[in-house]
Copies of this chain bind each other. A is one copy, B any other.
Amino acid sequence: MTLEPSAGRIEGREHLLPVRVYFEDTDFTGIVYHGAFVRFLERGRSDYLRLADVRHAALLDQGQALTLVRLEADFKRPARIDDALLVRTRFEAVKGARLTIGQQVLRGDDLLVEARVEAVLIGLDGRPRRPTPVMVAAIRPLLF
């Protein structure tokens, strides 16, 4: 085991990120708060991009950032403290400035959350930017 945080791994054209449920992710009903799943999904997308060599910090240095424009999530089964989860991410399409992403959160074979996300590359003025050829070249081979 290395002492670097894992960025998960790519299997075929899917990214898999293991995520642990901590105190911060649960609420008083005893299960994981839906907002925590929203954070888990973002970690999956960020680490998939990381493995594709697209870094948020580097984007910002170029005056760009990826931002969510649409989120659709079905919460099918609850998760609990200490659970070991898996976030599965697929890049489904790039069209202009828009990246469509399919995601799931699983615990073993159980599907807990099914999500579809649309992200857009924006400039510092908040307006959509077409991804650079370098970024398209990084993501293109990963499209599902």
Contact = CB atoms under 8 A, between A and B. Distances in A.
Interface of A: 1-7, 9, 16, 18-20, 22-24, 26-31, 33-35, 38-39, 42-43, 46-47, 50, 55-57, 60, 65, 67-78, 80-82, 84-86, 124, 126
Given A35-B38, A42-B22, A46-B23, A81 B67 contact: no
A22 to B, nearest CB: 5
A31 B28 contact: yes
Contacts of A67: 29, 31, 34, 75, 78
The interface centre, meaning the residue of A5, A31, A75, A86 with most chain B CB atoms within 10 A of its CB, is A5
B34 A71 contact: yes
A30 B28 contact: yes
Nearest to A55: B82
Contacts of A80: 28, 57
A42 B35 contact: yes
Contacts of A60: 28-29, 81
Closest 8 A/B residue pairs (Cβ)? A26-B28, A5-B20, A5-B18, A29-B65, A34-B68, A24-B39, A35-B38, A28-B81
B86 A3 contact: yes
A68 B78 CA distance: 10
B39 A18 contact: no
Contact of A43 (B9, B22, B46): B22
